[in-house]
Structure 1
Amino acid sequence: MAQFGKKTFSVGKRRLAAVVLLILGLGLGVYDGAIFWNKKAPERLRLRGSLAAPYHLGLDLQGGAHLVYQADFSNIKVDSESDAMQGLRDVIERRVNAFGVGEPLVQVNRVGNYWRLIVELPGEKDVETAIKYIGQTPLLEFREPRDASTTQQILDAQKQGQDLGEDPYFLPAVLTGRYLQNAQLEFDQNTNAPYIGVAFNGDGAKLFEDLTAKYIGQPIGIFLDGQLRSAPVVQDKIVGGKAVITGQFTLDQAKSIVRDLNSGALPVPIALVSQQTVEASLGQISLLASLRAGLIGLVVVALFMILWYRLPGVLAVIALLVYTSIVLALFKFIPVTLTVAGIAGFILSIGMAVDANILIFERMKEELRSGKPLQDAMQEGFARAWTSIRDSNVSSLITSAILYWLGTSVVRGFAFTLALGIVISMFTALTVTRTLLLATLRKNGSRFLYISGFVNKSQILIPKS
C-alpha cells in the first residue's frame, strides 16, 4: 500500500505536467491558427503584431516567378568564380529587396561548367518589370589595354570573320564593380556636363593603383554594361581608389547609373536563360490540396491508433496534436518558407512520430502480457523502445542532412521540414506521450485498456499483490 502511495504522488506530478503540456499545446495551436482565431475571438483576445503573422509560403503555393540567370566569365578575370557568384548573389538580393518582393529567394547553382543564379519572386505579379529592374543593374569594368601587335592580329582576324566577339583593344577586366564602394553624381566645372565619380574599397583601391602604375601613358577602358564609356590615358599612378566615368550622359542617365551602381554593381555579367511563372490561383490549388492530404492522413492515422491501441492510442493522438502545434509554431517563428515539398516532409514526419509511439506501445504490451505491474510495464516499454527509436531517427536525420547539403532549393525544403519534424517527434514521443500515459494511472485500473490488438482479457496476466 505504501508503495502504491508513493506512486500516487508521482502520478499526481505527472498529471500536473500533463495539464501544463496540454495548455502549452493549446496556446501554440492558437498561435498556429492566428488567422482563424482572430476571426472568432473577441477584440480584446485577438492576436496582434508578430503573433498574428502569417506563414511564409513559397513560390509554388502563392504564385510568382522563377528566374534562372547564367553568368558569363569569358570577358572578366576573377580569382575565384565561386566567390564572384556569391558577390553576385548578394547584389541581386539587394536589388530584389529594393524592388519590394516579399520573401525572395536568390541562390547560386552550378550545372557542369556553368554558373547559374536562381531568383524566385513569390507573389510577384508584375514579373516583366521585376526582370527589367534586375537586368538594368550596370556592370562596371576597368579593362587593361592590349599591346599593339595583339590588337592588329585580332583586327585582321575579324576582317576575315573570325574572333568577332573579341575586344581588339582591351583585355578582360581585373577591376570590376565588385570592388565598388560608392558612386556619386558630379559636374564638370567648365561645361557643367554630368559625370560619375566612383570610389573603390580597400582591395579595389590597391588594384586601381597597380593598374594605373602599370599602364602610365596608355588608355584604360572604362565599360558600363559591356559598352566603352571612356578610355582616359593614365598620366600618373593614382592613389586613393577614386576615378571618374565621363561620356555623353544626360542628367537623368547619370542619375540612373549612380543609383544602380550604389545599389550594387554586378561583379559578373548575367543573362536570363529561363523564366517560369506560377499563377496565384494554381498556387492556391496546390496549397489546398496539400492541406487536404495532410488532414486526411492525420485522421486516418488517428483512427488506426485509437482502434488498435485503445487508451494509449488516444493519448498518442493527443501527443500528435501537440507535436503538430509545436512544429507549425516553429515554421512561423524561424520562419520557414513552406513549399509543396516542405509540406510533404512535414506530413512524412507525422508518420515517423507515430512510428515511435507504436514501438513504445508494442514493447509495453509485451511487458503487460508477462505480468508486470502497469507502471513498470510503461517504464520498461519506453526504456526498451528507446534504442530502436534513436537509431531509426538518427539514420533519417543523416539522410535529411545529405539531402539538404547536396539538394536544390525544393529538396532542401523537404529535408529541412523532415529533419525538424523528426527532432520534435522524438521529444513528443518520449516526453509528452510518457507524461500523458503515467498521468492516466490509477489504482486497480483496467490493464485491458493499455494492451493493443485483438486480445482476450483472459490472456492478460494480473501481477501478484
Structure 2
Amino acid sequence: MLQIDLWKRILIWTTVAVGLFLALPNLFYPRVEQHNDAVAAIELQGETPALLAERDGWPSYLPSGLVNLGLDLRGGAHLLAEVQVEDVYAARLKALWPEVRDVLRDARDTVGTIRLQPSQGDSLRVRISRPEGMQRALELVRGLAQPTASVTGAMSNDLEVTADGSDIVVTLSEAERAATDRRTMMQSLEIIRRRIDEVGTREPTIQRQGADRILIQVPGIGSAAELKEIIGTTAQLTFQPVVGRTDDPGASAGVGNEVLPSLDEPNTYYILEQAPVVTGEELVDAQPAFDQNGRPAVNFRFNPAGARKFGDYTAANIGNPFAIVLDGEVISAPVIQSHIPGGSGIITGRFTVEESTQLAVLLRAGALPAGLEFLEERTIGPELGQDSIDAGKIATIVAFAGVLIFMALSYGLFGLFANVALIINVALVFGLLSLIGATLTLPGIAGIVLTVGMAVDANVLIFERIREELKTARGPARATELGYEKALSAILDANITTFITAVILFVMGSGPVRGFAITLGLGILTSVFTAIFVTRLLIVMWFERRRPKTIEV
C-alpha cells in the first residue's frame, strides 16, 4: 500500500522549504548584493547614512547568501604572473654578509683583512688578505650552514662554500634552492590572497601554475591595471643603517652599500648599508594612525625576534640616523634619540590618509618574497559577462522547457508531478550553491543544464516500471509502489557512478572544470532526492485525495 509516515512527510517538505528559502536571495540579486557590500563596508568603515540605507534594502531576517558569479559571468581581471625566485637567492646571500664578516673577524690573525667583493646575484664573494688562512676561513664560514628544511633535502646543508684564489665564494645548495623555490611560491600565493581579500573582492581564483607561475582571476574588479596595483606592489620594508647623504644619484656607495632616493626630499639620496637590521618580514601588525602633528602615519609592531634586534640596534646607535626603506625609497631617516624597546614604532612621511591606509594594508599582508613579472593580463568587461549570463539563461530555459513538455506529453499527470519536482530540484541546486558560497561559471551553467536533463532520468525509470507492473493486472497503488521499489537500485547505480565522476573532476581538475563538477555533483544529489521522495510524496497525496481505480502513465 502506498503510504508515507507523517514524520517523513514533514522532513521532506521541511528540506524543500529550507532549500527554497536559501535560494530566494538569488531572485533579488542586485538588492542582496548591495546589502552584503554595505554590511562589509560598515564593519570596516563604520556606519554612514548611505551605507545604512543600502543595508536596509534587504530584510535582515531573510538569508543573504548568493551564488557568486565567476569571472566569465561578472567580468573582471585575469593575470598570469611569474615569480622571480632568483631575487630570493640574492636577498638571502646579501643578508648573510654580516654573519660572514663577524665570524671571519674573530680569526683576523689567521685570515687577515676581510673585504666584500662585487658578486653575482646568486653568490657572495669575500676576499681575505692571507690566502694561507683559506682553509681556516672555509671552516668558519661552513660553520654557518644549516640543514636544509625540506624532506627531499634531508642530510644536506643550505650553503656551499668554496675557494677561488683569495676569495671565499658562498652559494646556496641545490637542495636549498629547491626548498626556497617551494617556500617562495607558497608565500607568494598566501600574500597575494591576503592582499586581494583585504580589499573585499568576491571569490578570487588564485592558484599555482607550473613551477614558478601564479594564475590570478578576480571577478568584479575594474581592470587588470587596478589588480596589478593591489598585488604588484612588493611593500618590502627594511630598516637600514645610514652611511651618508648626497645629491648625486651616481655617487660611489662602496662595496656593501647602496644609494637610494629619498621619498620626501627631492634630489636627496642616502648611502645605506645593504644588509638591513630588521625587515618587514618580522612585522606582526601595521595600522594607519596620526603622528604628534596630526599628519597621517603608520604604526607598526615587530615580532619578538625583530623587536630584540630593533631594540639592540637603537640602544647601540643613539644619535645616528636610521633609514626606513620601502620598495627602494627612503621614506624616513630619523635620528635615534633613545633606546626603543618593545619593538613598536611609527612611520611618518608625506602621506595622505588613503596612502597611509593602503601602506598599512600592504605591510599587514606581508611583503612579497620576490618580484612578479606579469606575462599575461586580460580585462573582461561586465558587458561580456552579461552576454554570457543571457546566453546561459537562454540555454537553461530552452532545456527546461523541452524537458517539461516531453514529460507532460509522455506521462500525463505523473509527468506533471515530475515537472514540479524538477522545478524544486533546480531551486535546491541554487540553494545549496548559495549555502556553500560556490562560484557559478559558464561551465557551471552547463552542469545545471545537464542536471536538468538528468533529473528526469530517475522519474522515467520509475514510470516505466509502473507501466510494466500495470500490465500484470495489479492495482494502481500496488503497481506504483512496486515501480518505486524495483527502479531504486538502477537509479542509485546510475547516479552514484556519475557522482564519482563529478568528485574525480573536482579533485583532479581546476578552475572551470571544478565549477562544472560542483554543479553536476550537487545536481545529482538534489535530483535523486526529488525523484525518490518529492515526486513519490506528490503521487501519494494525489492517491489519498482521488482514490483512483485505474491510472494512465
How many angstroms does 1:259 deviate by? 2.6
Conserved in 1, the CA contact under 8 Å of 2:206 and 2:216? yes
Matched, 1:313 2:410: no
Deviation at 1:429, TM superposition (A): 0.8
Aligned match of 1:58: 70
Q: Which residue of 2 aligns with 1:406?
A: 508
Alpha-carbon distance in structure 2 between the residues aligned to 1:270 and 1:439: 64
Q: Is the 8 A contact 1:60 1:340 kept in 2?
A: yes
- Distance in 2 separating the partners of 1:418 and 1:209: 55
> Could you tell me whether the CA contact under 8 Å between 2:311 and 2:342 is conserved in 1?
no
Correspondent of 1:181 among 270, 281, 285: 285
Q: Are the aligned partners of 1:65 and 1:120 in contact in 2 as well (CA < 8 Å)?
A: yes
Offset, 1:65: 2.3
Q: Which residue of 1 aligns with 2:523?
A: 421
Give the Å deviation of 1:109: 1.6
Cα deviation for residue 425 of structure 1 reads 1.0
Deviation at 1:412, TM superposition (A): 2.2
Could you tell me whether the CA contact under 8 Å between 2:256 and 2:274 is conserved in 1?
Answer: no
SS at match of 1:431: helix
Q: Which of the residues 299, 304, 309 maps onto 1:205?
A: 304
Segments of structure 2 that go 5 or more residues without pairing to the other structure are: 32-56, 93-179, 242-253, 259-271
Deviates more, 1:64-73 or 1:309-318: 64-73
Pick aligned residue for 1:291 from 381, 385, 393: 393
What is the one-letter code of the residue matched to 1:139? Q
Query: Is 1:49 the equivalent of 2:68?
Result: no
Counting only pairs closer than 5 Å after superposition, residues 13-32 of structure 1 correspond to structure 2 as: 24=17, 31=24
Counterpart in 1 of 2:191?
88
TM-score (norm 1): 0.68
Conserved 8 A contact 1:21-1:432: no
Q: Do 2:192 and 2:231's aligned partners in 1 also have CA atoms closer than 8 Å?
A: no
Q: How far, CA to CA, are the matches of 2:19 and 2:213 in structure 1? A: 48
- Unmatched segments (≥5 aa) in structure 1: 1-6, 39-46, 98-102, 145-150, 156-167, 451-465
C-alpha distance in structure 1 between counterparts of 2:331 and 2:11, whole Å: 73
CA distance change for structure 1 residues 35 and 87 in 2, over 3 Å: closer, same or farther?
closer
Shift in Å at residue 92 of structure 1? 1.5
Q: What is the aligned-residue RMSD (CA, Å)?
A: 4.8
Contact 2:82–2:214 (8 Å) recurs in 1: yes
| Equivalent residues in 2 for 1:234-253, closer than 5 Å | 240-242=342-344, 249=349, 251-252=350-351
In 1, distance between residues paired with 2:84 and 2:510? 22
SS at match of 2:429: helix
Tell me: CA distance 1:355–1:413, structure 2 relative to 1, closer, same or farther (3 Å).
Answer: same
Higher mean C-alpha deviation, range 317-326 or range 399-408: 399-408
* Identity score, percent: 29
Given residue 106 of structure 1, which amino acid in structure 2 is its aligned partner? P
The secondary structure found in structure 1 opposite 2:426 is helix
Matches within 5 A, 1:108-127: 108-122=206-220, 124-125=221-222
Superposed CA deviations along residues 209-245 of structure 1, whole A, max 9, x for unmatched, are 369879989x9986422456689999x9986334676
Q: Which residue of 2 aligns with 1:67?
A: 79
Count of residues paired in the alignment:
402
**In 2: Cα distance, 1:435 partner to 1:89 partner:** 50
**Which shifted more, 437-446 or 225-234?**
225-234
Alignment counterpart, residue 139 of structure 1, candidates 199, 212, 236: 236
In the superposition, the TM-score normalised over structure 2's length comes to 0.59
Q: Distance in 1 between matches of 2:339 and 2:18?
A: 69
SS of the residue 1:370 aligns to = coil
Equivalence for 2:550: 446
Larger helix proportion, structure 1 or 2? 1
Please list, as runs of the form range in 1=range in 2, the aligned pairs for 1:165-180 lying within 5 A after superposition. Answer: 170=274, 175-177=279-281, 179-180=283-284
Task: Return closer, same or farther for 1:195/1:297 CA change in 2, 3 Å cut-off.
Answer: closer
Q: Which residue of 2 aligns with 1:280?
A: 382
Q: Which amino acid aligns with 1:180?
A: V
Residues 1:207 and 1:108: Cα distance change in structure 2 (over 3 Å): farther
- Answer yes or no: is the 8 Å Cα contact 1:59–1:120 preserved in 2: yes
Instruction: List per-residue Cα deviations over 1:16-75 (Å, max 9, x = no partner).
Output: 979968995997699367449x9xxxxxxxx94365967543322232322334433332
Q: Which amino acid counterpart does residue 290 of structure 1 have in structure 2?
A: G
In structure 2, what is the Cα distance between the partners aligned to 1:261 and 1:367?
74
Instruction: Indicate whether 1:386 and 2:485 are aligned.
Output: no
